[in-house]
């Protein structure tokens, strides 16, 4: 963790520049933050509009994920810039910025009708090598920010990676992405069938990684599995 003095020194040497308009003071200023195009929930599999994010009846057999929220469009340039800075440029505090539209969506679409005690946020774990290189897990930072704003508990011990595979960004075809993450995750302990486990990651593309993580939770005993990403 950086001390306040270290953070001040970094701000002086590398001032925060808005990735939208270029003004100093924040990586995404208030004016640009409101330009983020928020999208309504959709079915995790077919991506058709779905009230409150429930997986549609047609697709339920294809995934253990029963509810999904991704409030931002990855195709929007500012969203891509924010996520790129978060994952690849070490801007760890971007988790707070990206958590804002997520929490707004959770409230707007009534994702949290249950008491917080019955829900766990489960960030997807990184490969150990990638974690050492990056210095933080962006999914965990996003989940921490969501948890602070909603009161939902975070558990980083539920899932573990059992294999190291090439990063998904290096693979273009959907079928190859699905094969690349197959069997990568494992639930560490028997899970409560009554608890809602919400998988958290920064972005969903094909959904293969989230799907494999969900299967691991299901194998561990979870019955209520949802997923959240900042963008899709």
What's the total number of domains in the chain? 2
Pair (43, 22) in one structural domain: no
**Predicted local confidence at residue 182, as pLDDT:** 61
159, β-bridge pairs: 187
Pair (57, 110) in one structural domain: yes
**Which one, of 64, 95, 60, 45, lies nearest residue 197 by Cα?**
64
**Predicted local confidence at residue 219, as pLDDT:** 94
Pair (7, 94) in one structural domain: no
Pair (144, 119) in one structural domain: yes
Pair (25, 93) in one structural domain: no
Checking DSSP bridges between strand 119-123 and strand 67-69, what pairing results, if any? unpaired
Specify the 3-state DSSP secondary structure of 26.
Answer: coil
Pair (30, 92) in one structural domain: no
**Predicted local confidence at residue 180, as pLDDT:** 54
Specify the pTM. Answer: 0.86
In Å, the largest CA–CA distance within the chain is: 55
pLDDT tens for each residue of the chain, 232 residues long? 444 554 444 454 457 889 999 998 888 999 998 899 899 999 999 999 998 999 999 999 999 999 999 999 999 999 999 999 998 888 888 999 999 999 999 999 988 766 667 899 999 998 888 888 888 899 999 999 999 999 999 999 999 988 665 554 555 555 655 555 567 899 988 999 999 999 999 999 889 999 999 999 999 999 999 999 999 9
- The span from the CA of 224 to the CA of 65, in Å, is 8
Residue 116: give the domain boundaries: 36-231
Pair (128, 208) in one structural domain: yes
Task: Find the length of the chain.
Answer: 232
Pair (63, 25) in one structural domain: no
Pair (83, 53) in one structural domain: yes
């Amino acid at each position: 963790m950086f001390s306040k003095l270290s953070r001040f020194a970094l701000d002086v040497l590398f001032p925060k520049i808005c990735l939208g308009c270029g003004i100093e003071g924040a990586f995404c200023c208030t004016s640009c933050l409101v330009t983020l195009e928020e999208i309504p929930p959709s079915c995790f599999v077919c991506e058709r509009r779905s009230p409150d994010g429930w997986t549609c009846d047609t697709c339920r057999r294809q995934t253990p994920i029963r509810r999904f929220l991704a409030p931002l469009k990855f195709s929007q340039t500012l969203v891509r810039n924010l996520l790129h800075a978060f994952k690849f440029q070490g801007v760890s505090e971007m988790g707070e910025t990206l958590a804002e539209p997520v929490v707004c969506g959770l409230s707007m679409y009534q994702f949290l009708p249950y008491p917080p005690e019955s829900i766990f946020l489960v960030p997807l774990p990184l490969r150990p090598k990638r974690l050492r290189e990056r210095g933080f897990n962006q999914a965990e930072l996003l989940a921490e920010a969501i948890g602070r704003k909603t009161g939902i508990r975070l558990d980083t011990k539920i899932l573990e990676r059992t294999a190291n595979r090439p990063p998904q960004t290096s693979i273009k075809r959907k079928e190859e992405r699905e094969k690349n993450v197959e069997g990568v995750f494992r639930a560490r302990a028997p899970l409560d069938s009554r608890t809602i486990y919400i998988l958290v990651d920064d972005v969903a593309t094909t959904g293969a990684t989230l799907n494999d993580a969900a299967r691991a939770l299901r194998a561990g005993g979870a019955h209520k599995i949802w997923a959240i990403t900042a963008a899709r």
